[in-house]
Amino acid sequence: MFKKILIANRGEIAVRIIRACRELSIRTVAIYSEADAQALHVRMADESICVGPADANLSYRNIPNILSSAELTGAEAIHPGYGFLAEDGHFAEVCESVGVRFIGPSAEAIRLLGNKVKARETMKKAGIPIIPGSDGVVSGEAEAIEVANRIGYPVMIKAVSGGGGRGIRVVQKEEELSQLLKTARSEGRTVCGDESVYIEKYFVEPRHIEVQVLADEKGKAVFFPERDCSIQRRHQKLVEESPSPLVDEKLRRELGRAALEAVRATHYVNAGTVEFLFEKEFYFIEMNARIQVEHPVTEAVSGIDLVKEQIKIAAGQGLEFKQNQIKCQGHSMECRINAECPEKFTPSSGTISVFHLPGGPGVRVDTALVSPTKITPYYDPMVAKLIVHAENRELAIAKMKMALSEFFIEGIKTSLPLHRRIMEDQTFINGRYSTNYIESFLAASLSTPPDLPL
Amino acid sequence: MFKKILIANRGEIAVRIIRACRELSIRTVAIYSEADAQALHVRMADESICVGPADANLSYRNIPNILSSAELTGAEAIHPGYGFLAEDGHFAEVCESVGVRFIGPSAEAIRLLGNKVKARETMKKAGIPIIPGSDGVVSGEAEAIEVANRIGYPVMIKAVSGGGGRGIRVVQKEEELSQLLKTARSEGRTVCGDESVYIEKYFVEPRHIEVQVLADEKGKAVFFPERDCSIQRRHQKLVEESPSPLVDEKLRRELGRAALEAVRATHYVNAGTVEFLFEKEFYFIEMNARIQVEHPVTEAVSGIDLVKEQIKIAAGQGLEFKQNQIKCQGHSMECRINAECPEKFTPSSGTISVFHLPGGPGVRVDTALVSPTKITPYYDPMVAKLIVHAENRELAIAKMKMALSEFFIEGIKTSLPLHRRIMEDQTFINGRYSTNYIESFLAASLSTPPDLPL
Amino acid sequence: MDLKEIKSLIQLLEETDLTEIEIEEHGRRIRVRKEQGQTVSLSAPLHTEAAALPAVSPVSQALQPQQEFSNETEPHLAVIHSPIVGTFYRAHTQGAEPYVQVGDLVKKGQILCIVEAMKLMNEIESDHDGTVVAVCVEDKSSVEFGQPLFKIEPAQ
Amino acid sequence: MDLKEIKSLIQLLEETDLTEIEIEEHGRRIRVRKEQGQTVSLSAPLHTEAAALPAVSPVSQALQPQQEFSNETEPHLAVIHSPIVGTFYRAHTQGAEPYVQVGDLVKKGQILCIVEAMKLMNEIESDHDGTVVAVCVEDKSSVEFGQPLFKIEPAQ
């Protein structure tokens, strides 16, 4: 086992990794930017080194300074956390080249999965369902009609160079296709001078379901009960739960098999997450080559410490448990508490002078909050993760409501009020939500009387 | 189910009960003394009423004001927590007489168990092993020798009216008995004018093992995996764990059977704890008619929320699980963090302006700490309970060490440094400790070099 | 006094981490100051937030914690506090005349009101000779321990 | 101004739970004040406590976080900070003469030292003309980003 690990991250995930290291009797080196000199991860680590100014590109992404720090402190491995350098193939490669173990998959796997087109091709070859659509650009109306008929309506026409909603048209039936194809082409041409379009299956109310995997260097791999992360706004997850209220035992096994297939196809080692879109069937979206923010819900239902497992795998230890030893006990849920306006999602910075974290049985808070904390505008606005675990989904919601009701942060705006409202919302309680949930929930909220503040 | 509960307590247990109520959608009424106007339980409750001045006898034990508070707020039940009025038979009786449900056993059961002699007799009749000894006072040397031979040496001669070590003699073998009997008698006569003595089995290195029980009004009762609470100083528990490193499955069942027998013999309803002394065999000491400080370790290994169960039982609901559904998963440990000097155990009061509570997977902190908190000299010095849960005892100790290392309280002295040292101590790690542990541990500590501060 | 100047100081204070600004010049002194993480901002944060969330925890709070029992602004007045938790009655029986009215002269030992607790009528007496200047509680409302009931201007 | 008097006031303040002492006499005013739950008491509590616990977490801390990078006490001096993390060398090769000594006159652009990082020798130049008044780091020791290396008294 490693004697010393450098944590190339900040905030709650750095704190989380330091805790795992402590339990494994591994000494820790924190790196920090000048803006984070007083941060909790710096105070908790055995050693700490300033690697640059507030700008993350010059500090938390400063590869030479981070590697120098590892060299100077004698750290044998680097845990990248999530974000920053976590999915930077170059960084993983340089780490290995200077003899520091990168706690994560190989540089090759990171690069392959980072290229969305290649990843999709690899998964398709491995027999994993991918989102149906044209093979690249469609040449004309005849091909478009042919593709749409093959994958079934509704379909989405997307300008290759479009984005932000521009150059995208949803086609409900064949009669509309010809006209909307023209519109999408012309919009693509207007916006970015490229009228190439491709066609993809359009999902009306899809869910985001993902499967956590662990794989060791000996080729042994296991999957965990799925996480449902459909509660998102602008592709940012807000609430995650495990298991999904939608998935039964049969589907769980199918998802797991597909996830393990993805591991094999990419020669993946360490912790990773295979993300699927689900609407009647499941389709591969992408595979994330890192520990994820929402990993605690999986830890809660499985009883397995994923960060400790990451470290053990990187140290060359084989997985100590088999697939059939991975349980799915009770129900877990996570709310991401962001420093932002709960209605408009604009970041909120300031000094948190007073806060109170919830506690009691089945309640876990992962945070780097320490009083007083300055929430700077430089980094991720997430200030805490509130995780609950209970016997079933209903009790987990009751526990989350309880915990949210006593969670108190003063000095900045947070998403706490939004989470409190979600936990009272009948659509969420029923578990019948899609990735459109937050949008429609907020739209409905705005039409409620003003005496129900967000 | 109740709509509103009054919590006749303060501190962490009041907070704990409020959390349980919130999860059950029960509204809460806090009571508080003038010294506690800013306390967390007051802030968390839906309503709160000042019931008296700082002196607990005039506030938290003020029965008329507490019952008036229940009447005025329409609270249907009162949860007494532990301490204060929790084991006051009169209070339980008055509650019921004014139509407020007392969340705990009947007044009769409380009174019976409060009388140590009667409780012992009841258990003896029910066939539960009690500490062997004379049936009351021994008349002379002949009887003393006969009793000592029957129960086996070493024995303890205790003056009936003695106390604080006076009038107590440990007899190792028969030859010593005659002389020590005289000494004990004369000491009893000198100290309190009474030379009556009785004889009890003396235990050299006993352990304190206790069994949590739950019993509903329909006569259904279950027991939980034992707790080992041998780490005590002056009969104050410091560290508790479940299961005991000493108890195997067979002994666990025997202890459980004895505990259920105690429930039956006392017609006990609600949560209770049967305490045993263990040295080769187990012997009944007493039964506590309340929720206990150390209940979270049982919650951790069993996954059952004992405070919620207390409330459900009081509301007339039957237990929803059977004996064979009560698991013993992994290992749990609790450290009581007291506001006191870690060496001399003298209470420490002051203002806690800065503190940091540990977190992460498997870590639970039950506390009423909120910044700034004034630790007054009026009440119990316990400021927090740190509970960990891991797959086995070794990992639980590693987790406890990790959590203690980041637990930080500024402004008062606490027992945190003592706990950190206990977790490093080989005798504790081996699990081979008795109720003498703290005494001998501290004695050994004092002889260690001064560069190892407590 | 330049109000604008003071306002700009307050603004400056609110925008920064400072807790106090003090200026003394030309025989004039201005001091603006805020409390951080201390008593002021902590008066009742959990309640404050809960109160903003009626949908989540409908807090009606029949009895708000009364923390302003002292009589700092009127130090010359005597305050009669409730010695028990109960229901405050101004008269002996329903519909009867109140024991006292504002403006009444009262003697030490004179009954001012009744606080009923557990069906027991507890007569509350004045501990001062003087004039009743305020009745602090509505008839038939709940009172907690230490809550001010009357204010009395002691006789000279 | 009586510095001793102020110091004793500060000490008094630190020994008690008070947060402020103010004395005004003979047209002079002294006010000392501390924040509770604020920056001062929080400089590094976790490290402080950990440091008192060698048995539990043997903290050797090769590199202590250096939070005193500013040059508040000597505002006239220019400070050369390390732009990278690495090992500080005063000389080009082992045994050679140091690039500069205290007292040396240096020119803007002149090499002052080397910070080695990942086997690369990075030459650190002076950004001022002036006199070297202090070398802040021991030869061959580790430096972090922003750590002061030299203090230079700029030429007029």
Q: Report the candidate in D57, A35, D61, D6 with the shortest Cα–Cα distance to residue B407.
A: D57
Provide mean pLDDT across the span A134-157.
91
> What is residue A446's predicted lDDT score, i.e. its pLDDT?
66
Q: Looking at the domain covering B4-103, what would its CATH class be?
A: alpha beta
Q: Show the tokens assigned to A210.
A: 């993902």
Q: Does A64 touch chain D (CB under 8 A)?
A: yes
Question: How many Å lie between the alpha carbon of A149 and the closest alpha carbon of chain D?
Answer: 58
Integer Cα distance of D13 and B305 in angstroms: 47
Tell me: pLDDT of C36 over 70. Answer: no
Tell me: pLDDT of C60 over 50. Answer: no
Q: Does B348 touch chain C (CB under 8 A)?
A: no
Tell me: pLDDT of C19 over 70. Answer: no
Percent of chain D surpassing pLDDT 70: 53
Distance set, CA B210 to CA B229, B242, B310 (Å): 7, 10, 18
Q: Do B371 and C37 contact (CB within 8 A), yes or no?
A: yes
- For residues C75 and C139, state if they share a domain: yes
Does the N-terminal peptide bond of residue A64 adopt cis geometry, omega within 30 degrees of 0? Answer: no
> What is residue D83's predicted lDDT score, i.e. its pLDDT?
96
For residue B32, the chain C residues in CB contact (below 8 A) are 65
**Does the distance separating the beta carbons of D38 and C19 come in below 8 Å?**
yes
Cα-Cα-Cα-Cα dihedral sign, residues A438, A439, A440, A446 = positive
pLDDT per residue as tens digits for the range B180-219: 999 988 888 887 788 888 899 999 999 999 999 999 999 9
Strand order across the beta sheet in which B47-52 lies:
B47-52, B27-33, B4-7, B77-79, B101-102
Q: Show the tokens assigned to A138.
A: 């469609």
Domain that holds residue D41: 3-63
Which chain C residue is nearest to residue D29, measuring alpha carbons? C24
pLDDT per residue as tens digits for the range A126-136: 999 999 998 88
Q: Does C24 touch chain A (CB under 8 A)?
A: no
Residues B99/B104/B105/B110 CA torsion (nearest 10 deg): -100
Provide mean pLDDT across the span A368-388.
91
Integer Cα distance of A411 and A348 in angstroms: 9
Q: Which residues pair with B29 in a beta bridge?
A: B6, B47
**Does the distance separating the beta carbons of D65 and A32 come in below 8 Å?**
yes
For residue C65, the chain B residues in CB contact (below 8 A) are 32, 37, 42, 48, 50
**Does the distance separating the beta carbons of A406 and B19 come in below 8 Å?**
yes
**Domain extent listing, chain B:** 4-103, 132-201, 207-447
> What is residue B343's predicted lDDT score, i.e. its pLDDT?
77
- For residues D33 and D47, state if they share a domain: yes
Tell me: pLDDT of D112 over 70. Answer: yes
Q: What is the CATH number of the domain that holds C89?
A: 2.40.50.100
**DSSP-derived secondary structure for A210-252:** EEEEEE-TTS-EEE---EEEEEEETTEEEEEEES-TT--HHHH
Q: Do B441 and B425 contact (CB within 8 A), yes or no?
A: yes
**Does the distance separating the beta carbons of C63 and B72 come in below 8 Å?**
yes
Q: Show the tokens assigned to B279.
A: 């040295």
**Does the distance separating the beta carbons of D37 and C38 come in below 8 Å?**
yes
Integer Cα distance of B362 and B392 in angstroms: 12
- For residues D77 and D123, state if they share a domain: yes
Q: Looking at the domain covering B207-447, what would its CATH class be?
A: alpha beta
Q: How confident is the model at residue C57 (pLDDT cuts 50, 70, 90)?
A: very low
Q: For all residues of chain B together, what is the average pLDDT? A: 93
Domain count of chain C? Answer: 2
pLDDT, tens digit only, all 454 positions of chain B: 999 999 999 999 999 999 999 999 999 999 999 999 999 999 999 999 999 999 999 999 999 999 999 999 999 999 999 999 999 999 999 999 999 999 999 999 999 999 888 998 999 999 999 999 988 889 889 999 999 999 999 999 988 776 666 778 899 999 999 999 999 888 888 877 888 888 999 999 999 999 999 999 999 999 999 999 999 988 899 999 999 999 999 999 999 999 999 999 999 999 999 999 999 999 999 999 999 999 999 999 999 999 999 999 999 999 999 999 999 999 999 999 999 987 788 889 899 988 999 999 999 999 999 877 888 889 999 999 999 999 999 999 999 999 999 999 999 999 999 999 999 999 999 999 999 999 888 888 766 544 444 4
Residue that is written with structure tokens 């699927």 in the block: A276
For residue B364, the chain A residues in CB contact (below 8 A) are 359-361, 363
Tell me: pLDDT of A92 over 80. Answer: yes
Q: Across chain A, how many H-helices and E-strands are there? A: 15, 21
Tell me: pLDDT of A119 over 70. Answer: yes
> What is residue D43's predicted lDDT score, i.e. its pLDDT?
25
For residue D37, the chain C residues in CB contact (below 8 A) are 36-38
Tell me: pLDDT of D9 over 90. Answer: no
- For residues C73 and C126, state if they share a domain: yes
- Which one of A351, A405, A410 has the shortest CB-CB distance to C57? A405
> Which of C22, C45, C63 lies at the terminal end of a domain, its last residue?
C63
Integer Cα distance of A72 and C119 in angstroms: 77
Q: Which helix (DSSP H) or strand (DSSP E) does residue A174 occupy?
A: helix A174-192
- For residues C34 and C89, state if they share a domain: no
**DSSP-derived secondary structure for chain C:** --HHHHHHHHHHHHHSS--EEEEEETTEEEEEE--SSSTGGGSSHHHHHHHT-TTTS----SS------S-TT-TTSEEEEPSSSEEEESBSSTTSPBS--TT-EE-TT-EEEEEEETTEEEEEEPSS-EEEEEE-S-TT-EE-TT-EEEEEEE--
Q: Which residues pair with A101 in a beta bridge?
A: A77
> Which of C63, C78, C106 lies at the terminal end of a domain, its last residue?
C63
Integer Cα distance of B420 and C90 in angstroms: 59
* Catalytic-role residue among A61, A111, A169, A290: A290
Q: Does B96 touch chain C (CB under 8 A)?
A: no
For residue A73, the chain D residues in CB contact (below 8 A) are 62-63, 142
Provide mean pLDDT across the span A129-158.
91
Integer Cα distance of A246 and A226 in angstroms: 10
Q: Do A209 and A308 contact (CB within 8 A), yes or no?
A: no
pLDDT per residue as tens digits for the range B291-331: 999 999 999 999 999 999 999 999 999 999 999 999 999 99
Sequence-separated (6 or more) residues with CB below 8 Å from residue A20: A305, A307, A308, A311, B360
Long-range contacts of A314-317 (CB under 8 A, 24+ apart): A314/A2, A314/A77, A314/A101, A314/A102, A314/A103, A314/A104, A314/A270, A315/A1, A315/A2, A315/A77, A315/A101, A316/A217, A317/A1, A317/A216
Q: Of A391-405, B64-78, C70-84, C105-119, which gets the smallest average pLDDT? A: C70-84
pLDDT per residue as tens digits for the range A286-320: 999 999 999 999 999 999 999 999 999 999 999 99
Which chain A residue is nearest to residue D51, measuring alpha carbons? A46
Residue that is written with structure tokens 């912790």 in the block: A271
> What is residue D8's predicted lDDT score, i.e. its pLDDT?
57
DSSP-derived letter for residue A403 is H
Integer Cα distance of B221 and B268 in angstroms: 9
- For residues C55 and C104, state if they share a domain: no
> Which of C12, C45, C63 lies at the terminal end of a domain, its last residue?
C63
**Does the distance separating the beta carbons of B51 and C85 come in below 8 Å?**
yes
- For residues D58 and D73, state if they share a domain: no
> What is residue C14's predicted lDDT score, i.e. its pLDDT?
56
Pick the CATH number of B132-201 from 3.90.1150.10, 3.40.50.800, 3.30.1490.20, 3.40.50.1240: 3.30.1490.20
Which chain D residue is nearest to residue B454, measuring alpha carbons? D53
- For residues D103 and D31, state if they share a domain: no
Q: Does A252 touch chain C (CB under 8 A)?
A: no
- For residues C40 and C87, state if they share a domain: no
Q: Do B237 and B198 contact (CB within 8 A), yes or no?
A: no
Q: Show the tokens assigned to A379.
A: 């980094």
Integer Cα distance of C81 and C67 in angstroms: 13
Best mutation target among C21, C22, C28 (most D Cβ atoms within 10 Å) is: C22
Q: Does B357 touch chain A (CB under 8 A)?
A: yes
Integer Cα distance of B111 and B90 in angstroms: 9
Q: Do A422 and A233 contact (CB within 8 A), yes or no?
A: no
> What is residue C6's predicted lDDT score, i.e. its pLDDT?
55
pLDDT per residue as tens digits for the range D42-99: 223 343 333 332 222 222 233 333 344 445 567 889 999 999 999 999 999 988 999 9
- Per-residue HEC secondary structure of chain B comes to CCCEEEECCCHHHHHHHHHHHHHCCCEEEEEEEHHHCCCHHHHHCCEEEEEECCCHHHCCCCHHHHHHHHHHHCCCEEECCCCCCCCCHHHHHHHHHCCCEECCCCHHHHHHHHCHHHHHHHHHHCCCCECCECCCCCCCHHHHHHHHHHHCCCEEEEEEEEECCEEEEEECCHHHHHHHHHHHHHHHHHHHCCCCEEEEECCCCCEEEEEEEEECCCCCEEECCCEEEEEEECCEEEEEEECCCCCCHHHHHHHHHHHHHHHHHCCCCEEEEEEEEEECEEEEEEEECCCCCCHHHHHHHHCCCHHHHHHHHHCCCCCCCCHHHCCCCCEEEEEEEECECCCCCCECCEEECEEECCCCCCEEEEECCCCCEEECCCCCCEEEEEEEEECCHHHHHHHHHHHHHHCEEECCCCCHHHHHHHCCCHHHHHCCCCCCHHHHHHHHHHCCCCCCCC
**Does the distance separating the beta carbons of A22 and B405 come in below 8 Å?**
yes
- For residues D95 and D38, state if they share a domain: no
E strands, A226-322, are 227-233, 236-242, 270-279, 281-288
Q: Show the tokens assigned to D54.
A: 């060698």
Question: How many Å lie between the alpha carbon of D51 and the closest alpha carbon of chain B?
Answer: 11
- For residues D32 and D13, state if they share a domain: yes
Show which subunits contact D, needing at least 3 CB pairs below 8 angstroms. A, B, C
Provide mean pLDDT across the span A79-90.
97
Integer Cα distance of B27 and B39 in angstroms: 18
Q: How confident is the model at residue A195 (pLDDT cuts 50, 70, 90)?
A: confident
Cα-Cα-Cα-Cα dihedral sign, residues A311, A316, A322, A323 = positive
- For residues C33 and C78, state if they share a domain: no
Active-site positions of B read 290
> What is residue C72's predicted lDDT score, i.e. its pLDDT?
58
pLDDT per residue as tens digits for the range B25-49: 999 999 999 999 999 999 999 999 9
